[in-house]
Amino acid sequence: MEIDADAPHSMGTTIIGVTYNGGVVLGADSRTSTGVYVANRASDKITQLTDNVYVCRSGSAADSQIVSDYVRYFLHQHTIQLGQPATVKVAANLVRLLAYNNKNMLQTGLIVGGWDKYEGGKIYGIPLGGTIIEQPFAIGGSGSSYLYGFFDQAWKEGMTKDEAEQLVVKAVSLAIARDGASGGVVRTVIINSEGVTRNFYPGDKLPLWYEELEPQFSLLDIPSSPGPEPMNI
């Protein structure tokens, strides 16, 4: 099979942003693909815009990077002008102005999430055409198709920080299991009044799904080390 190395880098992707009681948790997979070739299996799709606002990027890698760079620049100037940190709403609005006004040229879906002292933790989804929508949780990327039903069932209001992070990790790993364009590791970023925490979940730390268990054909086969417990919903 011919690999087209000149094909634009796309992030097949699963990205998620979830609010909880006190802040937000952002999560993403780490696969960047060029056609079927995985150009980067450990990319970081959660990008910083300011100390308290981050963005999850999906779609064209180049487009999402350039939008993030511009918004980071504008927000930096805005912060200096205002004399205090920018709000999540302002960051999200700047992202959507770029996404909307350049809709013919860009192909990127973004999730802006962060914490500010006026509104607390907020998530804004900015899909392809440049709409902006404030949501208690948002999902995006090709892997998100497999998560709509999951979130309808598993999402609840007022979760704790740990509950929210576990939900995000579980969701991304479910999507990775089913979406060929998502894979690699799961990265999460937790933002609240205390600051920002980055977490990293490599493949062996992720919950295993039913079909991925080692097949056991004989009772004489003793597995060398007991694998992690399979997950039940």
With contacts defined by CB under 8 A, name the span among 4-12, 22-30, 90-98, 139-147 that binds other proteins.
90-98
User: Roughly what angle, to the nearest 10 degrees, separates helices 61-82 and 88-101?
Assistant: 130
Q: 68 and 98 in contact (C-beta within 8 Å)?
A: no
Q: Which is nearer to other proteins, 118 or 217 (CB)?
A: 118
Residue 18 · residue 140 · CB < 8 Å:
no
| Burial (CB count within 10 angstroms: exposed 0-12, middle 13-18, buried 19+), residue 134 | middle
13 is catalytic: yes
Does 118 bind other proteins (CB under 8 A)? Our answer is yes
Rg (CA), the chain: 19
From 27, 55, 193, 198, select the one nearest 120 (Cα to Cα): 193
Which amino acid would we find at residue 64? S
Collapsed DSSP state (helix, strand, coil) of residue 33: strand
Decide: is 210 part of the binding site for other proteins (CB under 8 A).
no
Instruction: Please identify, among the stretches 59-67, 85-93, 167-175, 197-205, the one whose residues bind other proteins according to the rule CB under 8 A.
Output: 85-93
* Residue selected from 48, 65, 79, 93 as contacting other proteins according to rule CB under 8 A: 93
One-letter amino acid of 221: D
**Residue 48, burial from CB neighbour count under 10 angstroms (0-12, 13-18, 19+):** middle
**Binder of other proteins out of 25, 92, 106, 168 (CB under 8 A):** 92
Q: Is 81 in the site for other proteins (CB under 8 A)?
A: yes
Q: How far is the CB of 90 from other proteins (least distance, A)?
A: 5
**Which listed residue (13, 19, 87, 188) is catalytic?**
13
Among 90, 98, 123, 176, binds other proteins (CB under 8 A): 90
Q: Give the start-end residues of each E strand in the chain.
A: 10-11, 15-20, 23-28, 32-34, 37-40, 46-50, 53-60, 108-116, 120-126, 133-135, 137-140, 186-192, 195-201
Is 97 a binding residue for other proteins by CB under 8 A? The answer is yes
Q: Among the candidate windows 40-48, 79-87, 142-150, 182-190, which touches other proteins by CB under 8 A?
A: 79-87
Nearest distance, CB of residue 122 and other proteins, angstroms: 12
Residue 87 sits in the site that holds other proteins (CB under 8 A)? yes
Torsion angle of the four alpha carbons 135, 233, 159, 182, in this order, in degrees rounded to the nearest 10 = -50
Number of residues that bind other proteins (CB under 8 A): 13
Nearer to other proteins, 80 or 222 (CB): 80
Return the range that interacts with other proteins (CB under 8 A); candidates 26-34, 82-90, 100-108, 190-198: 82-90
| Binding residues for other proteins (CB under 8 A) | 78, 81-83, 87, 89-90, 92-94, 97, 118, 132
Catalytic (active-site) positions = 13
